[in-house]
Chains A and B, each alone.
Chain A
Amino acid sequence: MSTIPDPVDRYVRDVLSRVVATAQEKERLAADLRDHLEELAAEEKPSWSELIDRMGPPEEVALAFQAENPFRYSSFLRRLVAFAGDFGVLVLLSLPGIAAIAFLVHLAESSGGAERMLAFGLTGAVCFAVFVAWILYFPLFEAHSGRTPGKHCMKIRVLRETGEPVGTGQAFLRRLSFFFELLVLDALFVLFTEKRQRALDVLVHTIVVDEPDGEVSPAAWVACLLLPAVAVCCLCTAALLFAGH
């Protein structure tokens, strides 16, 4: 049986979902908003829409909070290390697909007729799947939570400039430089823009900010830096083993 969330809880959660703050700050804001809403409801008994009108829409309350707690824009180094970690994850995730491609190509070359056609067809399908995974990895993670695994380790997050969660369209558009070999030029903008934005961040109005909850652990730095090396080593090892056969 589903429970309908209490409207006060829903309002408070809606505000908190739009706020970048420490757990303690969120808890304080939640408690104060809850108390205020309950007092307002008890004293004046307004309708729910009157209540929201008095309190302000959740996005307005979140913006007011963020105006008093400015973002810390993430540094070039932190973003680069997060990207390295994500690159490592992507390569590792692609290994099964790459192994399948290698196997299917070998099968196609040693077969004839319909089997060969089938093997080449499957090779194309797996290549397409790997390609799609590389295209979707960053935008889907960022549209879902603002964080890829690499960003999660480095405690940074993508947001709209207003502080609201990034939209799916924005998440895709800000990645276009990745696919058109403009990534380096795009990334260099981080060093010169006031909000440490890449060129595409400026165009689609997104920012990358540090999470307010604590520093990045040394283990996270090491993991993000080592992961791409480990992934490439695995790839090379697999290639050598395959070539050996």
Chain B
Amino acid sequence: MERFERELKRGTLEMVLLHLLRQGPSYGYEMVARLRAGSTDFELKEGTLYPVLYRLESAGWIEPEWRHRERGVPRKYYRLTPEGEERSRELVAAWRSFSSSVDELLGEVAVDSE
């Protein structure tokens, strides 16, 4: 079950992060806080966020920007590029179509144990 959940998270994390950034630029810690606030089920080991962000950056879907804080070192924010915006829409549409198909199948297929 743990493996299944891990695979689900791995498969949807890109979509979730891009969708999060559609609401505005954000930085690593804030993204995790927003994920936690949005859903208790989507738990993420916070250190594993950054490799995914780097991949999204090399794909050209997000880009970093540095913002100065009142005190301390500048903070690195990420924002969606126009290509990232497009990619986010595609992924969400694909997910909605896929998940409704799965829901239909689960509704139609009788399972003995149920």
Residues of A at the B interface (CB closer than 8 Å) are: 15, 25, 28-29, 32-33, 35-36, 39-40, 43, 54-56, 58, 60-61, 64-65, 67-69
Contacts and interface: CB of A to CB of B under 8 A. Distances in A.
B28 A54 contact: no
A65 B76 contact: no
Contact of A55 (B45, B54, B73): B45
Interface centre among A32, A54, A65 (most CB of B within 10 A): A32
The 3 closest A-B pairs by CB, nearest first: A56-B45, A61-B47, A64-B48
Contacts of B50: 29, 32-33, 36, 65
B28 A36 contact: yes
A56 B48 contact: yes
14 contacts: A15-B47, A28-B54, A32-B76, A33-B47, A33-B50, A35-B28, A36-B47, A36-B50, A40-B29, A56-B45, A60-B47, A61-B51, A64-B51, A68-B55
Contacts of A64: 45, 47-48, 51-52
A43 B29 contact: yes
Contacts of A61: 45, 47-48, 51
B82 to A, nearest CB: 23
Nearest to A19: B51
A48 B48 CA distance: 18
Interface centre among B45, B52, B75 (most CB of A within 10 A): B45
Chain B interface size range:
10 to 19
Interface string B38-77: 0000000111101110110000000000000000010110
B31 to A, nearest CB: 10
Contacts of A36: 28-29, 46-47, 50
B29 A56 contact: no
Interface centre among A25, A33, A43 (most CB of B within 10 A): A33
A65 B51 contact: yes
A69 B51 contact: yes
Interface centre among A33, A36, A43, A67 (most CB of B within 10 A): A36
Contact of A54 (B46, B52, B55, B76): B46
Contacts of A43: 29
A143 B47 CA distance: 27
Contacts of A67: 51
A98 B53 CA distance: 57
Contacts of B75: 35
Contacts of A54: 45-46
Contact of B48 (A25, A40, A60, A69): A60
Given A55-B46, A61-B47, 12 more contacts: A29-B51, A29-B54, A32-B76, A35-B28, A36-B50, A40-B46, A43-B29, A56-B45, A56-B46, A60-B45, A61-B51, A64-B51
B44 to A, nearest CB: 9
B54 A68 contact: yes
Contacts of B55: 68
B87 to A, nearest CB: 17
Contacts of A68: 51-52, 54-55
Nearest to A12: B47
